[in-house]
A and B are shown apart, each in its own frame.
Chain A
Amino acid sequence: MSTILTKSTRLLVQGMTGHQGTFNAGQMMDFGTKVVGGVTPGKDGEVVLGLPVFDTMEEAVRITKANTSIVFVPAPFARDAVIEAIDSGIKTIVVITERIPVKDSIEFIQYARLRRARIIGPNCPGLASPGIAKVGIMPNSILSKGGIGVVSRSGTLTYEIVSALSEKGLGQSTCIGIGGDPVIGTNFVEALALFEKDRETNAVVMIGEIGGIAEEEAAEFIERKMSKPVYAYIAGRTAPVGKRMGHAGAIIARGRGTAQSKINALEKAGARIAAFPAEIPKIIKEEV
């Protein structure tokens, strides 16, 4: 998306020397992302995939002129890593790490707001704009270039749906996984607003799930502000009440956050609803 990832995106990988950091740095480079280095405290001077590793974000940003970072740092240290990135002047930070205490997320998200930085995640697969860059962990092979914007609270379910879109020739402008935690840096409404503005995007696929009211808020936004068509799938129609379904945010608590309430709100707002993942490309094909 021209507003988040561009050809001038220069990426630092926080936690690059770890297994996930190294593997995904390589995958992002294969996808065409300008990865300019990594940061791991205590690993200054190491070289990973031919790229320099720095001790601190300050030094890394000064030397590499990076403007974006991705965080693979383990949960107990993630808050510090994100704040360090914000203080180093980075304006887009994608937090992949899962199981970060919600208090830490609130603190770095609120701090990012004050410093006008954008956080995506935590507990998310990041984002990818085929043909431009990927800052995340979605498999390269499922992505293809086109005009569909995808926004999702889920990880592998996003892969499922993106791969179904690609197979049917429906390429993507940008796929963004906003994360499965209750408190996230960029929510549905904010992502939809970006897609509405984005010239590369003609239609949006939204993948929600039970818990919270983010989908209901998105529905309100769709009704009032969106001119582009929205296709939605909501996971958890058959989920029991009061049980946390894997994601910290995915729970029907005290009668709130049911799939039906979300489906009703989105339908009322004019979104087309798919009953199962493979139905999304079918519905889009019907309408185009």
Chain B
Amino acid sequence: MVGDGMKLLEHRAKQILRAGGIAVPDGYVVKIPEELHDVKSPIVLKAQVPVGGRGKAGGIRFASDLLEARRYATEILKLEISGHVPREILVEDRLSIGREIYLSITIDRSARVPLLIASNEGGVEIESVPDGSVRKWHIHPFLGIQAYQLREIGSFLRIEESQRGQMTSLLRNLWRLFWDNDCELTEINPLVLSKDGILVAGDAKVIVNDDSLYRHKELIAPDETLTTLEREAKEKDIALVQMDGEIGVIANGAGLTMATLDNLSLYGGRGGVFLDLGGTDDPKKVEQALELMIRSSPKVILLNIFGGMTKCDSVAEGVLAVENRIGISIPIVARIRGVNEERGRDMLSKAGMIAVSDLDEACRKASELGGT
């Protein structure tokens, strides 16, 4: 997988597959049990959560009458699956499964082209399938999926001659929708070959590249995997991750923020919030970041700035604006280096904050203040 883009819920992913010409089971979404239609043939109820392991958690139930379906729907809506409470249930016709196949397209970072992955052992996590049962094909973006690859995939998956045409168009469609929608992952697992010989996507996972969302506005949905604070930060274009520790770290640059957290751990300090300010020179952005940090209530805030494009005094200006407006009761340890560092440190120390130039020293001080 590439990064951590926008994960679509199963029913949204299946809409995209259907629009791209791939068969999915007939179904609809309910938010409350009362919305269930009459049950004429066996159905499956599937909790809509952005994480795996639903089946084991009781998030997938089979029903053959309305009464049973309502009971299961009520139960599913009360579940918490890896921290996610389902708000929607996908109700689908139950498939008559002949066999289950695994298919996905992702991006191979090393080869720098998309990668198609197939296996005959569908319906389980691909990581648990032995290497010998998995095969991979690179797809060059200028050529698309090639006829010889379609033949290889068909024979690897032991698709009968009579179903080869169906498989071929499914693979072409999967590639097309992966590429056209700026996906980082499209996964059909299982791809069901039904008893009457039809290929249907039993489950679907679609992850859209975050950086492409400006041209896929229709796909934007609140990211359910984020906490409230993380989501708010994301809307403000600030990278914020909540963790278990006591020390809130603000730094400019992702690598530097991670390194600051690592450095803290040498002194027993534990990171509570990772906040990457990015490359900004706008005191307003610093204010926004600091306010988010204060709301997460860490025991101490460690601010680590290596100034370049971000000037140290601009950062100090943002910090002081928050101090003057609301008063900061959480102790701040600032490590300030780079462009206009003396001025930056001076501004902060005059306001009673600890301002140093050495990262190690700042980490030691912050760890002492954050000690339990």
B102 CB-CB contact with A under 8 Å = no
Q: Which one, A109, A159, A237, contacts B262 given CB within 8 A?
A: A237
**Nearest-Cβ distance from residue A160 to partner chain B, whole angstroms:** 5
Contact of B112 among A183, A207, A233 (CB under 8 A): A183
**B241 surroundings in chain A (CB, below 8 A):** 240, 243-245
B306 to chain A, nearest CB (A): 5
Q: Which of B259-288 contact A (CB under 8 A)?
A: 259, 261-266, 270-271, 274, 276, 278-279
List chain B residues, Cβ under 8 A from A211: 3
Q: Contacts A159-B308, A183-B107 given; indicate if A246 touches B254 (C-beta within 8 A).
A: yes
Question: Does more than half of chain B's interface fall in helix, strand or loop, or is it mixed?
Answer: mixed
Q: In this assembly, does B253 line the interface, its C-beta being within 8 Å of a C-beta of chain A?
A: yes
B184-A102 in contact (CB<8A)? yes
Q: Does A249 contact B (CB under 8 A)?
A: yes
Q: B211 touching A182 by the CB < 8 A rule?
A: no
Decide yes or no whether A139 CB sits under 8 A from chain B: yes
Q: What is the CA–CA distance of A255 and B127 in the complex, to the nearest angstrom?
A: 10
Interface-central residue, B212, B256, B259, B266, by most chain A CB under 10 Å: B259
Could you tell me the distance between the alpha carbons of A106 and B178 in the complex, rounded to whole angstroms? 14
Q: In residues 91-109 of chain A, which contact B (Cβ within 8 Å)?
A: 98-103, 106-107, 109
Contact residue among B4, B255, B264, B360 (Cβ-Cβ distance under 8 Å from A180): B255
Taking CB atoms and an 8 Å cut-off, the chain B residues in 321-364 that contact chain A are 337-339, 359-360
Instruction: Give the total number of A-B pairs whose CB atoms are below 8 A apart.
Output: 183
In the complex where A159-B338, A243-B4 touch, is A103 in contact with B212 (Cβ < 8 A)?
yes
Asked if residues B110 and A214 are in contact (CB atoms below 8 Å), the reply is yes
Give the nearest-CB partner of B274 in chain A.
A245
A interface size (C-beta, 8 A): 65
Let me know if A102 and B182 touch, CB within 8 A: yes
CB-CB under 8 A from A75, the residues of chain B are 211
Kindly state the separation between the CA atoms of A178 and B109 in the bound complex, as whole angstroms: 14
Report the Cα distance A180→B274, complex, angstroms: 17
0/1 interface trace, chain B 279-304, chain A, CB 8 Å (1 if under): 10000000000000000000000000
Let me know if B39 is at the binding interface, CB within 8 A.
Answer: no
Q: Is A209 a contact of B255 with CB atoms below 8 Å?
A: yes
Whether A102 lies near B209 (C-beta < 8 A) is yes
Given A103-B209, A110-B141, are A20 and B255 also a contact pair (CB < 8 Å)?
Answer: no
Interface residues on B, range: 35 or more
Task: Decide if A212 is an interface residue (CB 8 Å cutoff).
Answer: yes
**CB-defined interface of B176-199 with A at 8 Å, one 1/0 digit per residue?**
000100101000000000000000
- The answer to whether B265 and A237 have CB atoms under 8 Å apart is yes
- Segment 48-104 of A: residues with Cβ below 8 Å from B: 75-76, 98-103
Question: Which of B3, B263, B271 is close to A277, meaning CB atoms less than 8 Å apart?
Answer: B263
Does B113 have its Cβ within 8 Å of any Cβ on chain A?
yes
Closest to B360 in A: A278
Q: How far is the CA of A246 from the CA of B257 in the complex (A)?
A: 9
Chain B residues near A101: list those with CB within 8 A: 182, 209, 211-212, 215
Which residue of chain B is the closest to A20 with respect to CB atoms?
Answer: B309
Contacts of B279 in A (CB 8 A): 98, 155
State how many angstroms separate the Cβ of B366 from the closest Cβ of chain A. Answer: 14
Known: A183-B109, A245-B274, A278-B359. A157 touches B211 (CB 8 A): no
- In the assembled complex, the CB of B361 is this many whole angstroms from the nearest CB of chain A, namely 10
* B3, A155: Cβ atoms closer than 8 Å: no
A–B complex contacts, Cβ < 8 Å, 26 sampled: A98-B279, A103-B182, A156-B251, A156-B306, A160-B259, A163-B337, A182-B107, A183-B107, A187-B110, A212-B109, A213-B109, A214-B110, A235-B255, A238-B262, A238-B271, A239-B258, A239-B274, A244-B239, A245-B276, A249-B109, A250-B254, A253-B4, A254-B1, A254-B127, A276-B263, A276-B266
Residues on B facing A (Cβ under 8 Å): 1-4, 107, 109-110, 112-114, 127, 140-142, 179, 182, 184, 209-212, 214-215, 239, 241, 243-244, 251-259, 261-266, 270-271, 274, 276, 278-279, 306-309, 337-339, 359-360
The 5 closest A-B pairs by CB, nearest first: A154-B255, A246-B254, A156-B253, A157-B255, A101-B212
Q: With A156-B253, A157-B256, A245-B257 given, can you name 4 additional A-B contacts, CB distance below 8 Å?
A: A160-B259, A180-B255, A187-B110, A253-B4
